[in-house]
Amino acid sequence: MATNTKDDTKAWMGARLERKEDLRLITGQGRYLGDVVLPGMLYAVFVRSEYAHAKIVSIDASEALALPGVVAVYKGEDLMGKVKSMRQPVLLPNLPAKFPEYWALAVGTAKFHGEPVAVVVARDKYVAVDAAELVAVEYEELPVVIDPEAALADGSTLVHPDSGTNEIFGMTFTGGATEEEQKKNEAEVEAIFAGADVVVKHRFRVHRTGVTPMEPRGCLCDWSDADGLTAWITTQRPHIDRLGLADILEIPAQQVRVIAPRDQGGGFGVKAPFFRENVVVAFAARELGRPVRWVESRYESLMNVGQERDQINVCEVAASKDGKLLALRNRGIADNGTGQTGVYWGFVMPFLGAVEMPNGYTWGKGDIKLRVATTNKACLTPSRAFGHFPTRFAVERSIDMVAHRLGMEPSDLRRKNIVPQLPYTSVTGEYYDSGNFLKVWDNLMTHIDLPAFRREQAAARAQGRYLGIGFACGVELSGVASELLVPMENQPGYGAASVRLDPRGKVHVYGGDAPGGQGHETTVAQVVAATFGIAPTDTVVTTGDTGTTPFGAGTIGARAGSYFVSAVHKACQELKKKITRILAHDLALEAEEEDFEFANGQVTLIRDRSQTKTFREIVERIIMAPVNLPEGEVGGLDATAFFEALKPMICFNADFCVVEVNADSGEFKILRWVSSEDVGNVINPMIVDGQMHGAIVQGLSNAMFEQFIYDERGQQLTADFERYKLATAADVPDLQITYASTPCPHTPLGTRGIGEGRPSSVSGALSNAVCDALAPFGIEITELPLRPDAVWRQIQAAKAAR
């Protein structure tokens, strides 16, 4: 808990202030979507396909409609002519892809197990569930394709026949923009590999896994002929949802308001796409003239969203005998699922993963290509470590393999090749704006006595015990600049905030992004408090209501600590200037903003401290008594500011872990985990610690436990927590978070956003540690999930080969 007193208000920046949100959340006073109730509200339940690929022969809703309490049943054909295709310009990235045509409810063909084919609306949610089971759907099962390599083969079953191919997206990320330039680059890379002292090439497979927020998706839609549509949606991007709903339902944009509930039980990317279910619920509310609510079940959630990763990467690294990384070559294939999710379409995540594959290392040359295949699985949706969880696993494992071949310490090889000076542009063209990667790495190593560990490791092996250490690092976007976000998602990247002072000297901040529990109310209040010299309790933060907030691209890509906070600070500075102009006028002084101190709830002239007013006094005077003002000034203290950095921004981290492996069973235990982070100037270390803890645990859970499994018919077998296992507190070690920050020169407070991509380095560090422990067996891990049975099989194979 911060111990700031009235003479210490500047220390709000960097204080470990307890989260403002927690009082209501831990006392059961949070207000989630399920807590929003409107008079006359109806309940929606979706009927979902039992098959991964099937022609919908007929849908008979007569028994469902006969059930007392059922108000309506809609199928795909009922929406035709009233609801447009989901393939609308506002939802299409500016990338060369074959975007499939699809509708809010399946029409003609169901293309994955769990696709919505009809919706039941009833007066009671339990009646709606019962009625959904009475909807009789006749299917004609069709061949499925569930393997991405098979999907890309000639003669494969087509998920979307109109596309003429299952390759939804393909791109070369290195060498230049033209085919001629790319071919020349390929030849140069091939020459490097031909002459390299060491070449490591492996096929790396990362399974389908992702994130599971505590609160699933949901929406509540209310229609008024006079005012239009009001939609409460569990979303990270309410302003994008508003535009999508307006276009697809053909409602004038000024008649659509989207509100993200104040409290959401996590997002992690899952709530960032534009989802078809929300369109259906809004349609039903408009048709029936009644509020309609849908809350996703956990079964539906695990069937439909939170599925990402799912990539094959054939990764090659060329190195010199002294450990210099010379070239990186990769041929990636991603399993996209059906590609039926607005904004992202599944392939946007693998796209960014390929862009970020070089990570924080210098490569003389690169040759990186990606192909993304549609299959009869649920579409990939964003997850924390957006796209680069699989590519980073491949790179970090490959670097350790090079070190093994050369007989070098993996930590030494990494330091030799970490980007030594920034700014820097990677071989894929990603710009690293600022920071000090070596400082982050060296800070990590100060917490590790490597020689002592190697001695301990050797002694343990002599006793039949196998200890190992692993390293990995990660470059992460610090917010997403418009120059990347516009082509990648057709959305702007700037941050926006409105700041309003009320006559009692209290502050109201409005932001269009919708957080999911990260602590934005607290960090924003600390920034405001430090700027105006007041207490954080004097600030209220409202987010995610398109009716009251400036346009925001959404809570994605770690935008809060870079873009949103910067916009808040910029708006506060504008108001601060106005306050000092009017105060100087009232005091009959020649003074500028820097001549005044805002502290302890006072605004004081620094050169004559007897000239002072309380913050409340001067604010109330400007708002309530706007007379005798300086020429050109008007009353009121409201400001809206927008922030866009001059350059795309990044942050950086490094991980270290220690494991012990039981060579008889393959079981392993994580004994220690240390991270080193550069987040720029830290607003609240306690909140950043929490973000790092959560991200690392998510990465470990993805790497060791979680896995979405489909059978040969495309049936999803892991749609409950009995079969889809998450890590618990018993599965993870104590996490030691350390900092080696450098202020960001492109944000006014020197802050960086971090947390969205943070899990990406975890699987590499963990796998490298297990391989280091089992070095006597020569084991190299190339597939996830990393589980004891897989480790045991490799040990047995190694023993048999001796």
pTM above 0.75, yes or no: yes
State the Cα–Cα distance between residues 768 and 409, nearest whole angstrom. Answer: 12
Mean pLDDT of the chain: 96
* Beta strand ranges found along 61-135 (DSSP E): 70-75, 109-110, 116-122
Structure confidence at residue 144 (pLDDT): 98
Q: Which domains does the chain have, with CATH numbers?
A: 2-30+494-643 (3.30.365.10), 33-142+216-264+271-304 (3.90.1170.50), 308-482+647-801 (3.30.365.10)
Tens of pLDDT, residues 105-141: 999 999 999 999 999 999 999 999 999 999 999 999 9
φ, ψ (nearest 5 deg) of residue 315: -110, 135
Cβ pair 228, 252 in contact under 8 A: yes
State the Cα–Cα distance between residues 117 and 156, nearest whole angstrom. Answer: 25
Tens of pLDDT, residues 352-378: 999 999 999 999 999 999 999 999 999
Q: What is the 3-state secondary structure (H, E, C) of 173-229?
A: CCCCCCHHHHHHHHHHHHHHHHHCCEEEEEEEEEEEEECCCCCCCEEEEEEECCCEE
Tens of pLDDT, residues 553-583: 999 999 999 999 999 999 999 999 999 999 9
Cβ pair 55, 265 in contact under 8 A: no
Cβ pair 758, 387 in contact under 8 A: no
Is the pLDDT at 9 greater than 60? The verdict is no
Is the pLDDT at 6 greater than 60? The verdict is no
CA dihedral 194, 195, 198, 201 (to 10 degrees): -20
Structure confidence at residue 10 (pLDDT): 62
Average pLDDT in the 7-18 region?
A: 79
Closest to 729 measured CA to CA, from 776, 691, 693, 757: 693
What residue type is 549 in one-letter code?
T
pLDDT band (50, 70, 90) for residue 802: confident
Is the pLDDT at 725 greater than 80? The verdict is yes
Is the pLDDT at 1 greater than 60? The verdict is no
Structure confidence at residue 646 (pLDDT): 81
Cβ pair 320, 200 in contact under 8 A: no
Cβ pair 218, 300 in contact under 8 A: no
Element of type H or E holding 615: helix 615-624
Is the pLDDT at 433 greater than 70? The verdict is yes
Is the pLDDT at 513 greater than 70? The verdict is yes
φ, ψ (nearest 5 deg) of residue 77: -65, -25
Cis peptide before 252 (omega within 30 of 0): no
Is the pLDDT at 607 greater than 90? The verdict is yes
Tens of pLDDT, residues 444-467: 999 999 999 999 999 999 999 999
Sign of the alpha-carbon dihedral angle for 362, 363, 364, 366: negative
* Beta strand ranges found along 416-571 (DSSP E): 424-425, 431-432, 466-477, 495-501, 507-511, 539-543
Structure confidence at residue 558 (pLDDT): 93
Residue 127, classed as helix, strand or coil, is helix
Tens of pLDDT, residues 24-62: 999 999 999 999 999 999 999 999 999 999 999 999 999
pLDDT band (50, 70, 90) for residue 2: very low
